[in-house]
Amino acid sequence: MGTLWHNVVAVLVAALLQSVAVTGNFQLEVQVVRVRDSVDDCGWWPEVCDLYIDEMCLDPQFEEPGSEEEDQDCSLIEYENNLDLESGLPKTRTLSVTNQPWPVDFHLRIEVMDIDTFNNDDHIEDVVVSESLNTSSEFSEEMDYRNTPNGRITLSMRFRVRCSGEYEGPHCDCLPHNDGHYSCREDGGISCLPGYTNTSNLCRQQDYCVGEVCPSEETCVSNPTSYT
């Protein structure tokens, strides 16, 4: 019983340490290339289809609108500057997120509004994007996003996600040389710099046999503080 209890505590402490250690910085660029509105064709009375995007909500978890588990609490970012879709596309909005790793699989909820002259601005619908996207210097292919079956708005969009600050790696959560001696690998792991060992210790362990310290490599055995 005592051992079980210890294990439970150890697991909880490990989970807590891990959640505290979560970090990362990234920027997601959302570019709206074209917009189609299946109700208003904008030809007859331009004011009626003056569209803009109000809120964008980035979340790795939330469920499709209308589903039972629907959770739209924007765990990563909620961005509320109007993005005008009426005057010239493409338009790009940059979502900057700090202290969070890039989730790769993400959901983006985009609130499309209609400015009209008859009453208050109308909320038309939320277009939801569920994508998997790797960090890249290139924008993704342009794709059409429309809520099925009865979505009114089609947004043609492309995305780009890049790490910001010093962060690197597929989740933008690796800081090279952060309190250790390593570089970040493409697959998310780390590689020790020459002269350092032990990735599970963030390469803090010096390998005293590398470099000119040791008289002969064949006889050199590195131990934690020196060589013999």
Ligand X SMILES: *[C@@H]1O[C@H](CO)[C@@H](O)[C@H](O)[C@H]1NC(C)=O
Is residue 201 within the footprint of ligand X (CB under 6 A)? yes
Query: Which of residues 48 and 169 has its CB atom nearest to ligand X in the complex?
Result: 169
Instruction: Closer to ligand X by CB, 74 or 133: give it.
Output: 133
Does 200 contact ligand X by CB under 6 A? yes
Task: Give, for 10, the enclosing helix (H) or strand (E).
Answer: helix 2-21
Residue 195's identity, in one-letter code, is: G
In the complex with ligand X, which residue's Cβ is closer, 201 or 226?
Answer: 201
Residue 200 C-beta: closest distance to ligand X, Å: 5
Q: Is 132 in the site for ligand X (CB under 6 A)?
A: yes
Q: How far is the CB of 202 from ligand X (least distance, A)?
A: 8
Helix or strand (DSSP H, E) at 145: strand 143-146
Rank residues 82 and 134 by Cβ distance to ligand X and give the closer one: 134
Least separation, in Å, of the C-beta of 206 and ligand X?
A: 11
- Say which amino acid occupies 124: I
Helix or strand (DSSP H, E) at 16: helix 2-21
Min separation Cβ 134 and ligand X, Å? 4
Give the nearest distance from C-beta 226 to ligand X in angstroms: 14
Nearest to residue 173, comparing CAs of 99, 95, 105? 99
111-139 CB burial, b ≥16 within 10 A, e <16:
bbbbbeeeeeeeebbbbbbeeebebeeeb
First to last CA, the chain: 45
Instruction: Point out which residues bind ligand X (CB under 6 A).
Output: 132-134, 198, 200-201, 205
